[in-house]
Structure 1
Amino acid sequence: MLGELDEFCMKTLAKYGCASASLAVVERGELVLSRAYGQADVAGQQPATPETVYGLASVTKAFTATAVCLAADEGLLDLDAPIPGGYQWAAPTPRQLLQHRGGFPAFYNFHYGTGPLPINLDRYRALVREPGTDFEYSNIGYHVLGMLLEAASGQELGVFLHERIVEPLGLASFGFGPVHAGSSPVAQRYSADGRAYATCHSGHPAAGAGWATAGDVALFAGTASRLLRPATAAAMYDAVPINDYLGYGLGRIVSRGAGAVVRSHGGGMGGVAAMMIDIPERELSAAVLANSTNKAARDAIVDHLMGTLAPGFHSDQLNPITEQTRPMTLAQDDWAGKISTAEGDIPLWIRILAGSRVEVRLGDGPPVTVPAVASQRWNLRVSAPVQLPTADARLNSPSFGLELSVEQDRLVGRAIAFKDGDRDGWLGAYLVYPCALRSH
C-alpha cells in the first residue's frame, strides 16, 4: 500500500502544482501511518516531513468547539443561554453558533501587513436571519464564541486550548495565532500559482488560526470526545441536516445515510488546504494537510487514502454544499433599491433580461450584464466584475455578488464584495451587506 500511496501523492502534487502535503492515520488511538511529500519551503529547499506543521484554517473550528463544550462541562457557560448583546432578533446561543445557525452571515477578512486590521469585523457583526432558523457557515459566529469563552474562563483562547486540549491529548505540535511559535518546522503557505504568502492576520482567529502536524490532527479527531462528559460528546455529533448527505453538529460535519458515519471538518484559506476525518465505527481517524490555496491535491489524496482505508467512503460525506444552483425564473423587469453599508447607502439597479441574464448597475458606475442563476434559498444569484465602492471592499475585494429572494413586492437579500481566488495577489475579504429593491 505504501509504495502505491507514495507514488500517487507525488504525482498528485505535480499534477496540481501543490508544494507539499502531509497525511496521517490513527487507529484505536495510536498513530499507524505518517507520511509527507514535496517541499515545505520551496525557496529554502526544505522537504516536508511528518513533523512539519501546517496551517489548519477552519479545522481550527473543531478545536474551538471542543473548548466551548469543555467550558460548558465545567460550568463556565451554558450552551443554551443567549449570548450578551443587543440583536435584531432574540440573541443566539452558543449551541446555535457552534452549529452555524446563529444568524450571522458568511465573512472573512485577511490582512498581510503589520498594525491593526484595516477591516473591523464588528461592522459586519449583525444578524441576517432569526437564530436557529437556517444554516449559514459563519466565521463571525466562531469569533463570538472565542470572545465568550475568553470572558467566561478569564484566559486567552490559545492558553485555554493548550491547557484543556493540547496537553491532555499530547498534541505537542499544536499552535494558535497568525504564526506558529513552536520549534517545529512550518510549511510555507503558497497561492494557487505557487507564490509564497506573507504572514496572515484575521479578525476571527477562533475560526481559523490553528497549526499542527497531520499526526496531531488525526489524533485529535479520534480522541477529543474523551475529554467531554458523555452527554456533551453525544451532543457534539448530534448534527442538524444541512443537505441530503450531511449535518453540522458542534464544530463537526457528520455524514448521514448509508454506510459508516464519518465525522470531519475541512479548512481552506490562502495557502492552506486541510482535512480532518474520524470514522468512529472503525476506530479510525485521519488528516491530510497541504500548503496550497488550491484544494485539488488535498481532495485527491483524501479520496485515495480513504478509498483504501474505508471501502464505501465517498467525497459527499465531507463536502457541506448548501446551495445547489437551478435556473433563474424571474420575469423580465426593472428593479431599483439600495445597499446598506456603514459608510452610507449605495444605489443599485438591476434589469432582468431574457435568457437568464441580468444587467447590474451600482452607484455611478456603468451597467454590466452577467448570467444569473437561482438556488433553493435565493431567487436570484449573480456575480459581476464590479467594485463595491466602500473603503473595506476597495482594499482587496474587487468582485461583486448579489443573492436576492422575492418577498411580496420586493427583492431582499445581500450584496457581497469578495475576491475570486488568489491567482492575482492574495486572497481578499468576503464582506456581506444587506440590500433591498422594488420593481419600478
Structure 2
Amino acid sequence: MVRRLNRFVSSAMRASNIPGLSLALTDRDSLRGVATRGFADLARRKRVRPETLFEIGSISKSFTSIALLQQWEAGRLDLHAPVTRYLPWFAVRSKYEPITVHHLMTHTAGIIMGTDFSTEARYETWALRDTETGFPPGSRFHYSNVGYKVLGLVLESLTGEPASETVRTRILEPLGMDSTLPAITHEARSRLAVGYSEVYDDRPSHPSHALVPATWLETDTADGNIASPAPDMATFLRMLLNRGRGPQGRILSEEGFSLLTQRAVRPDDAAHGEFYGYALNVKERGGHTTIGHSGSMVGYAATILADLDAGLGVVVLANAMQETGEIADAAMQLLRAASEGRRLPSLPRPKDPRYVRKPSDYTGAYRDGLEEITIEADRGRLVLRRGADRALLEARETDAFFVDHPELVRFLLRFRREGDRVVEALHGSHRYAREGATIPAAPTTPPEWEAYAGHYRSHNPWLTNFRVVMRRGALLLIRPGGEEDPLAPVSDGVFRVGATEHSPERIRFDTILDGKAIRANLSGCDYYRTFAP
C-alpha cells in the first residue's frame, strides 16, 4: 500500500508543481502513519518533516463552526437568530428576511464571497452594507469567506476574547493539538513550510513555470487562520470520526455533531460535495458517509477526508495552491481496502494532458474575421497552427486547453459545442467559428462597454489581477487560472459577475480617461488598469 501511494503522490506532485507535501492516515483510535515528500524550503533544500506546519485555509471554518456550536450547547447562541442580535452594526442591502447565523454557517446567506481586500475582519464585515444579497437567505448556496469572518466576530461577541483564543482553549488544547497555531503570525513563520506560487500570476499554471515564495501574510480571521502539522490534523479527524469525542471528553455533544454534519444544503458546484453542513462537505461513497473540506491559502493547499462508517481519515497538506483532493481520495481508497483486507485498487496514473481521447472532435479550421487558426491531430495530440506558428495543446478541463505558445498562454483555449459537435473556439477576446458552422452575428452593445476591456491589478495577494474582454458583443471577466464569468449589466458601469441571475458578485468600472476605465471594483476590492496586456 505504501509503495503504491508513494508512487501516486510523487506523480501528482510533479504534475501539479507541488514542492512539498505531508500526508497523514488515521483510524478512530490512533495515527496509522505520516508520509512526507519534497521540500518545505526549496532555497535551503529543507525537506518536509512530520512536524512541519502548513496553513490549512478554509478547513479552519470547521473549527469556527465547532466553537459556535459549543456556544449553542451552552445556551448562549441561537443558530437561527438574526446576526444583528450579536453584531448590531452588521448590515447588508437586502429585500429579503434577515440573515441568520445558520445562513452564514451554511453559505446560504446570499452574500458575496469576499475578496480579502482588508487585512482584518471588521472592516470587510462593515463594508457588506455596500453590497446586496443575491437571493433569499436559505434558498441557495453561494460560498462566502467573508461570511465566516462575520461568524468569527459573532463568536468574539459571545466570549469576549479573540476567536483564535477560543479555538485554542476550547478545541486545540483539549484535543492535544499542541503544535497547531490558531493564528498565523510572524513569530511562527520559521515553523511553517514556505508557501510557493508560480512566477507568472496572470495566466493558467503549468509545471514548467518556476516556483517563487508566495506572498507572506499574517491573519487571524475565522475563515482561514490555522497552521497545523499533518499529525495534529489527524487528531482533529479522530475527534470527527468519534462523533465529537476527544481523548479527554467531548468537544461536541452528539446533537452538536449531528448539526455540524447535517445535510443542510445542496451546493451548486462540484467543489463542495453533494451536501454541505456547517463547514463540512457531506458525500455518500460506496454506501459510506464521508465528510471533509479543502482549504487554500496564498501558497498553500489542504484537504481533510473522513469516512464515518469505516472510521478512517486522511490529511493532505501542501505548500502550493494546487489541487490536493485527488491525493486524499486515492489515499482513502487504499486505506479502506487495506483495512478491510481487500485487494488494493489500481490508482489511475496522472493523465498526460497532451493526449486527447477524440482529437477529431476539434480538428479543422476556425476563423474570427481575418484571423484564422487550424487545429490538427498529431499522434493523439492536438496542435494549433496560426500562420507559421505551431503550439501544442494540453487538456485542462472539458473542452478547454492550455496553449503552449508565448503569445497565447494568457488564456485557455475553449471549445463550444452544439449537441456533440464543436462549433467554435474561444480564446481571450476571440471567437473563432469552425469551418462549416453557422454562428449567430454578435449583438450590438453600448459603445461605452469598449472602455471596460483591459487588464486590472491590485496588491491583493489572493486575486492579484484579472482581465476583462469583449467577445462578440459580450463582456467577460477572465481570472488568471482561466475561469470565465460573463458580465451582465445592472446599471451604468455596474455588472453582475456570473452566469446565474442570483449571483451577488458585482464589478463596477469608473474613472474613464482617454476612453478607458482606470479602476474596476470587484465585490469591494479596487483594481487598476495595468500596462501589461
TM-score, length of structure 1 as denominator length? 0.72
Give the distance between the partners of 2:346 and 2:126, measured in 1 at CA: 40
Identify the residue that residue 403 of structure 1 maps to in structure 2.
498
Which region of structure 1 is more displaced relative to structure 2, 35-44 or 90-99?
90-99
Q: Name the CA shift for 1:211/1:359 in 2 (closer, same or farther; >3 Å).
A: farther
Identify the residue that residue 23 of structure 1 maps to in structure 2.
23
Q: Offset at 1:360? A: 7.9
User: Contact conserved, 1:56 with 1:211, CA < 8 A, in 2?
Assistant: yes
Q: Which amino acid aligns with 2:228?
A: A
Q: Name the CA shift for 1:25/1:49 in 2 (closer, same or farther; >3 Å).
A: same
Mapped pair 1:198 → 2:198: no
Mapped pair 1:279 → 2:307: yes
Identify the residue that residue 289 of structure 1 maps to in structure 2.
317
Unaligned runs of 5+ in 1: 316-324, 330-352, 375-379, 391-399, 418-428, 434-440
Mapped pair 1:211 → 2:198: no
* SS of residue in 1 equivalent to 2:36: strand
User: Contact conserved, 2:24 with 2:314, CA < 8 A, in 1?
Assistant: yes
Mapped pair 1:230 → 2:254: yes
* SS of residue in 2 equivalent to 1:92: coil
Mapped pair 1:354 → 2:440: yes
Within a 5 Å distance, the mapping from 1:332-351 to structure 2 comes to none
Identify the residue that residue 51 of structure 2 maps to in structure 1.
51
Larger radius of gyration between Structure 1 and Structure 2: 2
Q: Name the CA shift for 1:314/1:431 in 2 (closer, same or farther; >3 Å).
A: farther
Q: Which amino acid aligns with 1:369?
A: M
Give the distance between the partners of 2:196 and 2:28, measured in 1 at CA: 34
Identify the residue that residue 370 of structure 1 maps to in structure 2.
471
Give the distance between the partners of 1:118 and 1:228, measured in 2 at CA: 28
User: Contact conserved, 2:55 with 2:297, CA < 8 A, in 1?
Assistant: no
Q: Name the CA shift for 1:56/1:361 in 2 (closer, same or farther; >3 Å).
A: farther
Q: Offset at 1:116? A: 8.0
Q: Offset at 1:13? A: 2.2
Q: Offset at 1:357? A: 8.1
1:154 to 156, 160, 168: 160
Mapped pair 1:263 → 2:367: no
Q: Name the CA shift for 1:181/1:283 in 2 (closer, same or farther; >3 Å).
A: farther
* SS of residue in 2 equivalent to 1:3: helix
Mapped pair 1:299 → 2:325: yes
Q: Name the CA shift for 1:389/1:55 in 2 (closer, same or farther; >3 Å).
A: farther
Give the distance between the partners of 1:232 and 1:430, measured in 2 at CA: 40
Unaligned runs of 5+ in 2: 200-210, 246-250, 338-344, 349-413, 419-438, 454-468, 477-483, 509-519, 525-533
* SS of residue in 2 equivalent to 1:241: coil
Give the distance between the partners of 1:78 and 1:201, measured in 2 at CA: 31
1:101 to 94, 105, 108: 108
Identify the residue that residue 382 of structure 1 maps to in structure 2.
486
Identify the residue that residue 123 of structure 1 maps to in structure 2.
127
How far does the alpha carbon of each residue in 1:222-261 deviate from its partner, in whole angstroms, 9 at most, with x for none? Answer: 3042211211111111122225961110111101475211
How far does the alpha carbon of each residue in 1:291-324 deviate from its partner, in whole angstroms, 9 at most, with x for none? Answer: 10222xx234223212212359999xxxxxxxxx
How far does the alpha carbon of each residue in 1:78-110 deviate from its partner, in whole angstroms, 9 at most, with x for none? Answer: 111111144423322212211111221111326
Q: Offset at 1:218? A: 2.3
Give the distance between the partners of 1:20 and 1:141, measured in 2 at CA: 31
* SS of residue in 1 equivalent to 2:294: strand
Q: Which amino acid aligns with 1:20?
A: G
Q: Which amino acid aligns with 2:325?
A: D
Q: Offset at 1:119? A: 8.1
Identify the residue that residue 133 of structure 1 maps to in structure 2.
139
Give the distance between the partners of 1:231 and 1:48, measured in 2 at CA: 39
Give the distance between the partners of 1:228 and 1:26, measured in 2 at CA: 20
Q: Offset at 1:134? A: 1.0
User: Contact conserved, 2:67 with 2:170, CA < 8 A, in 1?
Assistant: yes
* SS of residue in 2 equivalent to 1:262: strand
* SS of residue in 1 equivalent to 2:328: helix
Q: Offset at 1:75? A: 2.0
Q: Name the CA shift for 1:216/1:199 in 2 (closer, same or farther; >3 Å).
A: same
Give the distance between the partners of 2:71 and 2:305, measured in 1 at CA: 24
Mapped pair 1:34 → 2:11: no
User: Contact conserved, 1:180 with 1:186, CA < 8 A, in 2?
Assistant: no
User: Contact conserved, 1:18 with 1:292, CA < 8 A, in 2?
Assistant: yes
Q: Offset at 1:7? A: 3.3
Give the distance between the partners of 2:416 and 2:67, measured in 1 at CA: 42
Q: Name the CA shift for 1:309/1:180 in 2 (closer, same or farther; >3 Å).
A: farther
Give the distance between the partners of 1:220 and 1:313, measured in 2 at CA: 29
Q: Offset at 1:431? A: 3.4
1:242 to 267, 270, 291: 267
Q: Offset at 1:58? A: 0.6
Q: Which amino acid aligns with 1:198?
A: T
TM-score, length of structure 2 as denominator length? 0.60
* SS of residue in 2 equivalent to 1:59: helix
Q: Name the CA shift for 1:77/1:43 in 2 (closer, same or farther; >3 Å).
A: same
Give the distance between the partners of 1:261 and 1:430, measured in 2 at CA: 41
User: Contact conserved, 2:121 with 2:221, CA < 8 A, in 1?
Assistant: no
Give the distance between the partners of 1:47 and 1:267, measured in 2 at CA: 22
Give the distance between the partners of 2:444 and 2:62, measured in 1 at CA: 40
User: Contact conserved, 1:76 with 1:152, CA < 8 A, in 2?
Assistant: yes
Give the distance between the partners of 1:402 and 1:360, measured in 2 at CA: 18
Identity of aligned residues (%): 26
Q: Offset at 1:173? A: 1.7
Identify the residue that residue 374 of structure 2 maps to in structure 1.
none
1:169 to 171, 175, 198: 175
Give the distance between the partners of 1:382 and 1:360, measured in 2 at CA: 16
Give the distance between the partners of 1:252 and 1:116, measured in 2 at CA: 24
Give the distance between the partners of 1:40 and 1:150, measured in 2 at CA: 34
* SS of residue in 2 equivalent to 1:96: helix
Q: Which amino acid aligns with 1:24?
A: A
Identify the residue that residue 423 of structure 1 maps to in structure 2.
none
* SS of residue in 1 equivalent to 2:78: coil
Which region of structure 1 is more displaced relative to structure 2, 119-128 or 193-202?
119-128
User: Contact conserved, 2:487 with 2:498, CA < 8 A, in 1?
Assistant: no
User: Contact conserved, 1:29 with 1:222, CA < 8 A, in 2?
Assistant: yes
Give the distance between the partners of 2:13 and 2:294, measured in 1 at CA: 19
User: Contact conserved, 2:260 with 2:279, CA < 8 A, in 1?
Assistant: yes
Give the distance between the partners of 1:249 and 1:102, measured in 2 at CA: 14
How many residues are matched?
A: 364
Give the distance between the partners of 1:313 and 1:235, measured in 2 at CA: 36
How far does the alpha carbon of each residue in 1:180-229 deviate from its partner, in whole angstroms, 9 at most, with x for none? Answer: 74598311110035110232246x81101111011211221230422112
Q: Name the CA shift for 1:413/1:131 in 2 (closer, same or farther; >3 Å).
A: closer
User: Contact conserved, 1:370 with 1:383, CA < 8 A, in 2?
Assistant: no
